[in-house]
């Protein structure tokens, strides 16, 4: 079975567009969570992450950002 791509290659809406990401601590019925919202001109997605999940997401973003090289415009701290 072929490994899926990390994005939908058939989506014609995928393009560089202005985007905003926010991350704020929240209190939920399941305990504290980090609310992460990504907004673009065509979509908004919000996830509520536990502390462990937030740490894992941070590491994945940092690894991905390191692969962009200099001048990418994306600045991420190194993983903890």
Question: What is the reported pLDDT for 18?
Answer: 79
**Domain presence at residue 37:** yes
Structure tokens at 76: 């991420």
In a domain, 79, yes or no: no
Q: Which one is predicted more confidently, 12 or 39?
A: 39
- Residue 53's pLDDT is 96
State the pLDDT confidence band at 5, using cuts at 50, 70 and 90: confident
The answer to whether position 77 is within a domain reads no
Whether 2 maps to a domain, the answer reads no
pLDDT tens-digit map of 53-67:
999 998 888 887 777
Q: Which long-range contacts (CB under 8 A, 24 or more apart) does 12-20 make?
A: 13/42, 17/41, 17/42
Q: What is the mean pLDDT of the chain?
A: 81
- Is 33 part of a structural domain of the chain? yes
| Structural domain span for residue 37 | 21-66
Please state, for a pLDDT cut of 90, what percent of the chain lies above it: 39
In a domain, 9, yes or no: no
In a domain, 32, yes or no: yes
Residue 80 lies in a domain: no
Number of domains in the chain: 1
């Amino acid at each position: 079975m072929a490994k899926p791509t990390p994005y939908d290659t058939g989506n014609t809406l995928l393009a560089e567009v202005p985007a905003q990401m926010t991350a704020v601590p929240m209190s939920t019925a399941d305990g504290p969570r980090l609310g992460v919202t990504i907004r673009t001109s065509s979509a908004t997605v919000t996830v509520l992450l536990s502390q462990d999940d937030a740490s894992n997401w941070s590491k994945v973003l940092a690894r991905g950002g390191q692969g962009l090289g200099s001048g990418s415009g994306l600045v991420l701290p190194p993983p903890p």
